[in-house]
Amino acid sequence: MGRKMLVTGGAGFIGSNFIIYMLQKYPELEIVNMDALTYAGNLENLSSIQNHPHYTFTATNITDAEAVESWFQQGIDIVVNFAAESHVDRSILEPDIFVKTNVLGTQVLLDAARKHGVTKFVQVSTDEVYGTLGDTGLFTEETPLAPNSPYSASKAGGDLMVRAYYETFGLPVNITRCSNNYGPYQFPEKLIPLMISRALNEQPLPVYGDGLNIRDWLYVEDHCSAIDLVIHQGKPGEVYNIGGNNERTNLHIVRTILEELGKPESLITHVQDRPGHDRRYGIDPAKITRELGWEPKYDFESGIKETIQWYLDHKDWWARIQSGEYQDYYKKQYGSR
Ligand code: NAD
Ligand code: TDX
Protein backbone atom coordinates (compact mmCIF):
# COMPACT_ATOMS: atom_id res chain seq x y z
CA MET A 1 0.00 0.00 0.00
CA GLY A 2 1.97 3.05 -1.24
CA ARG A 3 -0.66 5.64 -0.50
CA LYS A 4 -1.31 8.54 1.84
CA MET A 5 -3.70 8.05 4.72
CA LEU A 6 -5.09 10.77 6.97
CA VAL A 7 -5.66 9.38 10.47
CA THR A 8 -7.54 11.79 12.72
CA GLY A 9 -7.35 11.42 16.50
CA GLY A 10 -4.13 9.43 16.13
CA ALA A 11 -2.71 10.64 19.44
CA GLY A 12 -5.54 8.97 21.37
CA PHE A 13 -5.88 5.41 22.59
CA ILE A 14 -7.11 3.50 19.53
CA GLY A 15 -5.68 5.90 16.93
CA SER A 16 -2.13 5.59 18.26
CA ASN A 17 -2.37 1.78 18.37
CA PHE A 18 -3.73 1.89 14.80
CA ILE A 19 -0.91 4.08 13.42
CA ILE A 20 1.76 1.82 14.93
CA TYR A 21 -0.05 -1.28 13.61
CA MET A 22 -0.36 0.12 10.06
CA LEU A 23 3.21 1.45 9.77
CA GLN A 24 4.53 -1.94 10.85
CA LYS A 25 2.30 -3.81 8.42
CA TYR A 26 2.65 -1.52 5.37
CA PRO A 27 6.19 -0.15 4.95
CA GLU A 28 5.19 1.97 1.92
CA LEU A 29 2.14 3.60 3.54
CA GLU A 30 2.35 7.32 4.40
CA ILE A 31 0.36 8.49 7.41
CA VAL A 32 -0.62 12.01 8.40
CA ASN A 33 -1.81 12.10 12.01
CA MET A 34 -4.20 15.03 12.55
CA ASP A 35 -4.97 15.54 16.22
CA ALA A 36 -5.99 18.61 18.22
CA LEU A 37 -4.23 17.23 21.34
CA THR A 38 -7.13 17.64 23.71
CA TYR A 39 -6.68 16.25 27.23
CA ALA A 40 -6.94 12.75 25.66
CA GLY A 41 -4.27 13.24 23.00
CA ASN A 42 -0.76 12.20 23.98
CA LEU A 43 2.13 12.12 21.51
CA GLU A 44 4.10 10.00 23.95
CA ASN A 45 1.96 7.07 22.72
CA LEU A 46 3.73 7.46 19.36
CA SER A 47 7.31 7.91 20.55
CA SER A 48 8.32 4.58 18.93
CA ILE A 49 7.49 5.90 15.44
CA GLN A 50 7.83 9.68 15.77
CA ASN A 51 10.86 9.73 13.45
CA HIS A 52 9.45 7.23 10.96
CA PRO A 53 10.06 8.64 7.44
CA HIS A 54 6.43 8.02 6.43
CA TYR A 55 4.85 9.61 9.48
CA THR A 56 3.79 13.27 9.85
CA PHE A 57 1.99 14.85 12.78
CA THR A 58 -0.14 17.98 12.63
CA ALA A 59 -1.77 19.64 15.64
CA THR A 60 -5.00 20.48 13.83
CA ASN A 61 -8.60 20.55 14.97
CA ILE A 62 -10.95 18.69 12.61
CA THR A 63 -13.52 21.47 13.00
CA ASP A 64 -11.06 23.96 11.45
CA ALA A 65 -12.15 23.73 7.80
CA GLU A 66 -9.34 25.91 6.45
CA ALA A 67 -6.59 23.96 8.15
CA VAL A 68 -8.18 20.64 7.18
CA GLU A 69 -8.41 21.82 3.55
CA SER A 70 -4.71 22.71 3.48
CA TRP A 71 -3.80 19.12 4.43
CA PHE A 72 -6.09 17.65 1.78
CA GLN A 73 -4.41 19.91 -0.81
CA GLN A 74 -1.20 18.01 -0.13
CA GLY A 75 -2.89 14.81 -1.35
CA ILE A 76 -4.87 12.35 0.77
CA ASP A 77 -6.17 9.03 -0.58
CA ILE A 78 -7.77 7.48 2.50
CA VAL A 79 -9.35 8.99 5.64
CA VAL A 80 -9.82 7.11 8.92
CA ASN A 81 -11.70 9.28 11.39
CA PHE A 82 -10.97 8.39 15.01
CA ALA A 83 -11.02 11.99 16.29
CA ALA A 84 -13.78 12.38 18.83
CA GLU A 85 -14.71 13.36 22.31
CA SER A 86 -15.01 9.79 23.60
CA HIS A 87 -15.98 9.73 27.27
CA VAL A 88 -19.65 9.27 28.20
CA ASP A 89 -19.30 10.85 31.67
CA ARG A 90 -17.75 14.01 30.23
CA SER A 91 -20.60 14.23 27.69
CA ILE A 92 -23.06 14.37 30.56
CA LEU A 93 -21.19 17.34 32.07
CA GLU A 94 -20.42 19.17 28.81
CA PRO A 95 -22.43 18.03 25.76
CA ASP A 96 -21.60 20.95 23.44
CA ILE A 97 -18.00 19.99 22.63
CA PHE A 98 -19.28 16.51 21.71
CA VAL A 99 -21.57 17.97 19.07
CA LYS A 100 -18.81 20.25 17.76
CA THR A 101 -16.18 17.56 17.33
CA ASN A 102 -18.23 14.44 16.68
CA VAL A 103 -20.86 15.93 14.36
CA LEU A 104 -19.46 19.17 12.90
CA GLY A 105 -15.87 17.88 12.78
CA THR A 106 -17.00 14.79 10.89
CA GLN A 107 -18.88 16.97 8.40
CA VAL A 108 -15.80 19.17 7.81
CA LEU A 109 -13.77 16.05 7.01
CA LEU A 110 -16.51 14.69 4.75
CA ASP A 111 -16.61 17.94 2.76
CA ALA A 112 -12.85 17.95 2.24
CA ALA A 113 -12.86 14.24 1.36
CA ARG A 114 -15.60 14.80 -1.20
CA LYS A 115 -13.93 17.85 -2.74
CA HIS A 116 -10.62 16.04 -3.12
CA GLY A 117 -12.06 12.69 -4.24
CA VAL A 118 -10.65 10.31 -1.62
CA THR A 119 -10.90 6.60 -2.39
CA LYS A 120 -12.10 5.62 1.11
CA PHE A 121 -13.54 7.36 4.18
CA VAL A 122 -13.80 5.16 7.27
CA GLN A 123 -15.83 6.51 10.18
CA VAL A 124 -14.83 4.80 13.44
CA SER A 125 -18.05 4.61 15.41
CA THR A 126 -19.39 2.72 18.37
CA ASP A 127 -21.97 0.14 19.40
CA GLU A 128 -23.36 2.80 21.76
CA VAL A 129 -25.32 4.35 18.86
CA TYR A 130 -27.68 1.34 19.08
CA GLY A 131 -28.64 2.18 22.67
CA THR A 132 -29.06 -0.61 25.18
CA LEU A 133 -29.95 -4.33 25.04
CA GLY A 134 -32.13 -6.31 27.42
CA ASP A 135 -31.12 -9.75 28.65
CA THR A 136 -31.15 -11.31 25.17
CA GLY A 137 -30.22 -10.47 21.58
CA LEU A 138 -27.23 -8.74 19.97
CA PHE A 139 -26.67 -5.53 17.98
CA THR A 140 -26.60 -6.18 14.22
CA GLU A 141 -26.02 -3.60 11.49
CA GLU A 142 -29.82 -3.46 11.09
CA THR A 143 -30.51 -2.56 14.73
CA PRO A 144 -32.17 0.90 14.77
CA LEU A 145 -30.09 3.77 16.17
CA ALA A 146 -31.32 4.71 19.66
CA PRO A 147 -28.50 6.57 21.46
CA ASN A 148 -29.02 7.40 25.13
CA SER A 149 -26.10 9.69 26.10
CA PRO A 150 -24.96 12.98 24.58
CA TYR A 151 -21.79 11.10 23.53
CA SER A 152 -23.62 8.33 21.68
CA ALA A 153 -26.11 10.81 20.19
CA SER A 154 -23.22 12.85 18.79
CA LYS A 155 -21.58 9.70 17.36
CA ALA A 156 -24.91 8.73 15.78
CA GLY A 157 -25.16 12.26 14.33
CA GLY A 158 -21.70 11.87 12.77
CA ASP A 159 -22.65 8.45 11.38
CA LEU A 160 -25.78 9.86 9.75
CA MET A 161 -23.73 12.58 8.01
CA VAL A 162 -21.37 9.89 6.73
CA ARG A 163 -24.30 7.88 5.42
CA ALA A 164 -25.74 10.99 3.74
CA TYR A 165 -22.45 11.74 1.93
CA TYR A 166 -22.59 8.23 0.47
CA GLU A 167 -26.24 8.39 -0.56
CA THR A 168 -26.14 11.99 -1.83
CA PHE A 169 -22.62 12.43 -3.20
CA GLY A 170 -21.42 8.85 -3.70
CA LEU A 171 -18.45 9.31 -1.33
CA PRO A 172 -16.97 5.80 -0.79
CA VAL A 173 -17.57 5.50 2.95
CA ASN A 174 -17.69 2.78 5.56
CA ILE A 175 -18.88 3.02 9.15
CA THR A 176 -17.46 0.63 11.75
CA ARG A 177 -19.23 0.12 15.08
CA CYS A 178 -17.05 -1.45 17.69
CA SER A 179 -17.65 -2.59 21.25
CA ASN A 180 -15.55 -1.47 24.27
CA ASN A 181 -11.81 -1.57 23.56
CA TYR A 182 -9.08 -2.27 26.08
CA GLY A 183 -5.29 -2.42 25.87
CA PRO A 184 -2.18 -0.22 26.07
CA TYR A 185 -2.43 3.61 26.04
CA GLN A 186 -6.07 3.87 27.12
CA PHE A 187 -6.69 7.11 28.98
CA PRO A 188 -7.15 6.40 32.70
CA GLU A 189 -10.69 7.78 32.81
CA LYS A 190 -12.11 4.61 31.18
CA LEU A 191 -13.13 1.63 33.33
CA ILE A 192 -10.15 -0.72 32.97
CA PRO A 193 -7.17 1.70 33.24
CA LEU A 194 -9.00 3.76 35.87
CA MET A 195 -9.55 0.72 38.08
CA ILE A 196 -5.99 -0.55 37.58
CA SER A 197 -4.41 2.78 38.51
CA ARG A 198 -6.69 3.31 41.51
CA ALA A 199 -6.23 -0.25 42.78
CA LEU A 200 -2.44 0.16 42.60
CA ASN A 201 -2.77 3.35 44.66
CA GLU A 202 -5.16 1.53 47.06
CA GLN A 203 -7.88 4.10 46.35
CA PRO A 204 -11.61 3.17 46.37
CA LEU A 205 -12.89 1.75 43.06
CA PRO A 206 -16.09 3.60 42.07
CA VAL A 207 -18.50 1.05 40.57
CA TYR A 208 -21.63 2.70 39.17
CA GLY A 209 -24.95 1.35 40.49
CA ASP A 210 -25.08 -2.42 41.07
CA GLY A 211 -22.07 -3.09 38.81
CA LEU A 212 -24.07 -5.57 36.74
CA ASN A 213 -24.06 -3.53 33.53
CA ILE A 214 -22.52 -5.55 30.72
CA ARG A 215 -19.93 -4.44 28.16
CA ASP A 216 -18.56 -6.53 25.27
CA TRP A 217 -14.74 -6.22 25.38
CA LEU A 218 -12.34 -6.22 22.42
CA TYR A 219 -8.54 -6.01 22.50
CA VAL A 220 -7.46 -2.85 20.67
CA GLU A 221 -5.20 -4.69 18.18
CA ASP A 222 -8.17 -6.78 17.05
CA HIS A 223 -10.05 -3.53 16.40
CA CYS A 224 -7.09 -2.30 14.32
CA SER A 225 -7.02 -5.46 12.19
CA ALA A 226 -10.76 -5.11 11.53
CA ILE A 227 -10.39 -1.48 10.39
CA ASP A 228 -7.50 -2.51 8.13
CA LEU A 229 -9.79 -5.05 6.45
CA VAL A 230 -12.59 -2.52 6.07
CA ILE A 231 -10.20 -0.03 4.42
CA HIS A 232 -9.11 -2.62 1.89
CA GLN A 233 -12.22 -4.72 1.34
CA GLY A 234 -15.21 -2.86 2.78
CA LYS A 235 -18.00 -2.39 0.24
CA PRO A 236 -18.81 1.34 -0.20
CA GLY A 237 -21.73 2.52 1.91
CA GLU A 238 -21.66 -0.49 4.25
CA VAL A 239 -21.67 -0.58 8.05
CA TYR A 240 -19.59 -3.25 9.86
CA ASN A 241 -20.05 -4.18 13.51
CA ILE A 242 -16.85 -5.28 15.31
CA GLY A 243 -16.86 -7.31 18.52
CA GLY A 244 -15.23 -10.37 20.02
CA ASN A 245 -18.12 -12.02 21.93
CA ASN A 246 -16.67 -11.10 25.32
CA GLU A 247 -19.58 -9.88 27.41
CA ARG A 248 -18.65 -9.27 31.04
CA THR A 249 -20.29 -7.40 33.92
CA ASN A 250 -18.37 -4.40 35.27
CA LEU A 251 -18.04 -6.16 38.64
CA HIS A 252 -16.41 -9.14 36.91
CA ILE A 253 -13.85 -6.79 35.31
CA VAL A 254 -13.10 -5.02 38.59
CA ARG A 255 -12.75 -8.31 40.50
CA THR A 256 -10.40 -9.69 37.82
CA ILE A 257 -8.19 -6.60 38.16
CA LEU A 258 -8.12 -6.85 41.96
CA GLU A 259 -7.28 -10.54 41.81
CA GLU A 260 -4.45 -10.02 39.30
CA LEU A 261 -3.00 -7.18 41.38
CA GLY A 262 -3.44 -9.00 44.69
CA LYS A 263 -5.59 -6.20 46.11
CA PRO A 264 -8.61 -6.64 48.42
CA GLU A 265 -12.25 -6.59 47.22
CA SER A 266 -12.95 -4.13 50.04
CA LEU A 267 -11.66 -1.42 47.65
CA ILE A 268 -14.90 -1.81 45.62
CA THR A 269 -17.24 1.09 46.37
CA HIS A 270 -20.70 1.27 44.83
CA VAL A 271 -21.42 4.88 43.87
CA GLN A 272 -24.40 6.64 42.32
CA ASP A 273 -25.30 5.26 38.89
CA ARG A 274 -24.43 7.07 35.64
CA PRO A 275 -27.57 8.89 34.37
CA GLY A 276 -29.01 7.09 31.32
CA HIS A 277 -26.58 4.20 31.96
CA ASP A 278 -26.97 1.60 29.18
CA ARG A 279 -27.51 -1.83 30.74
CA ARG A 280 -25.97 -4.15 28.19
CA TYR A 281 -23.98 -4.03 24.94
CA GLY A 282 -23.38 -7.11 22.79
CA ILE A 283 -22.14 -7.10 19.21
CA ASP A 284 -23.00 -9.61 16.50
CA PRO A 285 -19.82 -9.64 14.37
CA ALA A 286 -21.23 -12.16 11.81
CA LYS A 287 -21.14 -9.73 8.87
CA ILE A 288 -17.47 -8.71 9.09
CA THR A 289 -16.50 -12.33 9.79
CA ARG A 290 -18.49 -13.67 6.84
CA GLU A 291 -17.82 -10.92 4.27
CA LEU A 292 -14.26 -9.81 5.14
CA GLY A 293 -12.94 -12.89 6.97
CA TRP A 294 -12.13 -10.99 10.19
CA GLU A 295 -11.31 -13.00 13.33
CA PRO A 296 -10.09 -11.59 16.67
CA LYS A 297 -6.74 -12.96 17.82
CA TYR A 298 -6.98 -12.29 21.56
CA ASP A 299 -9.18 -14.10 24.02
CA PHE A 300 -10.31 -11.91 26.88
CA GLU A 301 -8.65 -13.80 29.72
CA SER A 302 -5.15 -13.46 28.23
CA GLY A 303 -5.79 -9.96 26.81
CA ILE A 304 -6.78 -8.54 30.20
CA LYS A 305 -3.74 -10.09 31.86
CA GLU A 306 -1.42 -8.59 29.23
CA THR A 307 -3.14 -5.24 29.64
CA ILE A 308 -2.80 -5.23 33.42
CA GLN A 309 0.89 -6.10 33.01
CA TRP A 310 1.30 -3.22 30.52
CA TYR A 311 -0.08 -0.73 33.05
CA LEU A 312 2.20 -2.19 35.71
CA ASP A 313 5.17 -1.74 33.37
CA HIS A 314 4.15 1.80 32.34
CA LYS A 315 3.29 3.48 35.64
CA ASP A 316 5.21 6.58 34.52
CA TRP A 317 2.98 6.89 31.47
CA TRP A 318 -0.29 7.08 33.38
CA ALA A 319 1.17 8.97 36.34
CA ARG A 320 2.35 11.72 33.97
CA ILE A 321 -1.10 11.92 32.39
CA GLN A 322 -2.75 12.13 35.74
CA SER A 323 -0.47 15.01 36.75
CA GLY A 324 -1.00 16.81 33.43
CA GLU A 325 2.73 16.78 32.81
CA TYR A 326 2.37 15.28 29.32
CA GLN A 327 1.53 18.73 27.93
CA ASP A 328 5.13 19.74 28.64
CA TYR A 329 6.28 16.60 26.88
CA TYR A 330 4.48 17.69 23.72
CA LYS A 331 6.07 21.14 23.72
CA LYS A 332 9.52 19.67 24.34
CA GLN A 333 9.23 17.02 21.62
CA TYR A 334 7.52 18.95 18.88
CA GLY A 335 8.01 22.68 19.50
CA SER A 336 5.33 24.73 17.76
CA ARG A 337 4.60 22.25 14.94
P1 NAD B 1 -9.53 8.95 22.88
O2 NAD B 1 -10.37 9.90 23.66
O3 NAD B 1 -8.48 8.16 23.56
O4 NAD B 1 -8.81 9.74 21.70
C5 NAD B 1 -9.46 10.72 20.93
C6 NAD B 1 -8.40 11.51 20.18
O7 NAD B 1 -9.06 12.47 19.34
C8 NAD B 1 -7.44 12.30 21.09
O9 NAD B 1 -6.11 12.13 20.65
C10 NAD B 1 -7.90 13.75 20.92
O11 NAD B 1 -6.85 14.68 21.09
C12 NAD B 1 -8.43 13.73 19.50
N13 NAD B 1 -9.43 14.79 19.26
C14 NAD B 1 -10.50 15.09 20.04
N15 NAD B 1 -11.17 16.13 19.49
C16 NAD B 1 -10.50 16.47 18.35
C17 NAD B 1 -10.72 17.45 17.34
N18 NAD B 1 -11.74 18.31 17.41
N19 NAD B 1 -9.85 17.52 16.31
C20 NAD B 1 -8.80 16.66 16.22
N21 NAD B 1 -8.54 15.72 17.15
C22 NAD B 1 -9.39 15.62 18.20
O23 NAD B 1 -10.56 8.00 22.13
P24 NAD B 1 -10.44 6.46 21.72
O25 NAD B 1 -10.90 5.64 22.83
O26 NAD B 1 -9.12 6.23 21.10
O27 NAD B 1 -11.55 6.40 20.58
C28 NAD B 1 -11.24 6.66 19.21
C29 NAD B 1 -12.49 6.55 18.38
O30 NAD B 1 -13.05 5.25 18.51
C31 NAD B 1 -13.60 7.52 18.78
O32 NAD B 1 -14.20 8.00 17.60
C33 NAD B 1 -14.56 6.67 19.60
O34 NAD B 1 -15.87 7.17 19.49
C35 NAD B 1 -14.40 5.33 18.92
N36 NAD B 1 -14.66 4.14 19.77
C37 NAD B 1 -14.00 3.98 20.93
C38 NAD B 1 -14.21 2.82 21.70
C39 NAD B 1 -13.48 2.58 23.00
O40 NAD B 1 -13.79 1.61 23.69
N41 NAD B 1 -12.51 3.39 23.37
C42 NAD B 1 -15.12 1.87 21.25
C43 NAD B 1 -15.79 2.07 20.04
C44 NAD B 1 -15.54 3.22 19.31
O1 TDX C 1 -15.63 4.84 37.23
C2 TDX C 1 -16.34 4.13 36.52
N3 TDX C 1 -17.18 3.21 37.10
C4 TDX C 1 -18.00 2.40 36.39
O5 TDX C 1 -18.74 1.59 36.96
C6 TDX C 1 -16.33 4.21 35.07
C7 TDX C 1 -15.42 5.20 34.37
C8 TDX C 1 -17.16 3.38 34.37
N9 TDX C 1 -17.99 2.51 35.00
C10 TDX C 1 -18.88 1.65 34.19
C11 TDX C 1 -19.73 2.39 33.19
C12 TDX C 1 -19.87 1.40 32.06
O13 TDX C 1 -20.93 0.50 32.33
O14 TDX C 1 -18.04 0.80 33.41
C15 TDX C 1 -18.55 0.61 32.10
C16 TDX C 1 -17.53 1.10 31.09
O17 TDX C 1 -17.43 2.50 31.21
P18 TDX C 1 -16.47 3.38 30.29
O19 TDX C 1 -15.09 2.85 30.38
O20 TDX C 1 -16.72 4.82 30.59
O21 TDX C 1 -16.98 2.98 28.82
P22 TDX C 1 -18.42 3.08 28.11
O23 TDX C 1 -19.28 4.08 28.75
O24 TDX C 1 -18.95 1.67 27.99
O25 TDX C 1 -17.95 3.61 26.66
C26 TDX C 1 -16.78 3.09 26.03
O27 TDX C 1 -17.10 2.13 25.06
C28 TDX C 1 -17.70 2.57 23.88
C29 TDX C 1 -15.94 4.20 25.41
O30 TDX C 1 -15.64 5.17 26.40
C31 TDX C 1 -16.63 4.81 24.24
O32 TDX C 1 -15.79 5.77 23.62
C33 TDX C 1 -16.96 3.74 23.26
O34 TDX C 1 -17.75 4.29 22.22
Count Cα neighbours of 145 within 13 Å in the Cβ-side half-sphere: 17
pLDDT in the model for residue 323: 81
pLDDT of residue 335: 54
Count of the separate structural domains present in the chain: 1
CATH code assigned at 261:
3.40.50.720
pLDDT at 337 (0 to 100): 38
Our answer on whether the CB atom of 191 is closer than 6 Å to any ligand 2 atom is: yes
**Is 81's C-beta closer than 6 angstroms to any atom of ligand 1?**
no
* Active site annotation includes 299: no
> 88 alpha carbon to ligand 2 midpoint, in Å?
7
**Using a 6 Å cutoff on CB, does residue 148 contact ligand 2?**
no
pLDDT of residue 336: 43
Is residue 316 scored above 70 in pLDDT?
yes
- Ligand 1 close to Cβ of residue 9 (< 6 A): yes
Average pLDDT, the chain: 95
Pairing of strands 78-81, 173-178: unpaired
Active-site residue identified among 85, 111, 128, 221: 128
330 pLDDT more than 60: no
For the cut 90, the answer to whether the pLDDT of residue 225 exceeds it is yes
State yes or no: pLDDT of 92 exceeds 70: yes
How far, in Å, from the CA of 325 to the mean position of ligand 2? 25
Per-residue pLDDT, averaged over 188-197, amounts to: 97
| 89 CA distance to ligand 1 middle (Å) | 14
Residue 144 confidence (pLDDT): 98
The Å distance, Cα 263 to ligand 1 centre, comes to 31
Percent of residues, the chain, with pLDDT higher than 70: 95
The bridge status of strand 173-178 relative to strand 239-242 is parallel
Q: pLDDT (tens digit, 9 = 90+) per residue, 36-87?
A: 999 999 999 999 999 999 999 999 999 999 999 999 999 999 999 999 999 9
Task: Identify whether 198 is part of a domain.
Answer: yes
Whether the complex's predicted ipTM surpasses the cut of 0.90? yes
Residue 335, in any domain of the structure: no
Verify whether ligand 1 is closer than 6 Å to residue 12 (CB atom): yes
Tens-place pLDDT, residues 130-154: 999 999 999 999 999 999 999 999 9
* Residues in a beta bridge with 55: 31
Does 128 qualify as catalytic in the annotation? Answer: yes
CA distance 174 to 92: 28
Is 151 a known active-site residue?
Answer: yes
Among 6, 7, 8, 13, the mutation site with the greatest number of ligand 1 atoms within 8 A of its Cβ is 13
In a domain, 220, yes or no: yes
The residue-averaged pLDDT of 222-251 equals: 98
Considering the domain boundaries, does residue 46 fall inside one?
A: yes
Residue 334 has pLDDT above 70, yes or no: no
Residue 337 lies in a domain: no
Asked if residue 336 belongs to a domain, the reply is: no
**For position 322, what pLDDT does the model report?**
85
Structural domain contains residue 172: yes
Domain with 281 in it: 4-330
Model pTM score: 0.97
| Residue 242 near ligand 1, beta carbon < 6 Å | no
Judged against a pLDDT cut of 80, whether residue 324 lies above it is answered with no
Q: Which of 81, 45, 43 is nearest to 62 (CA)?
A: 81
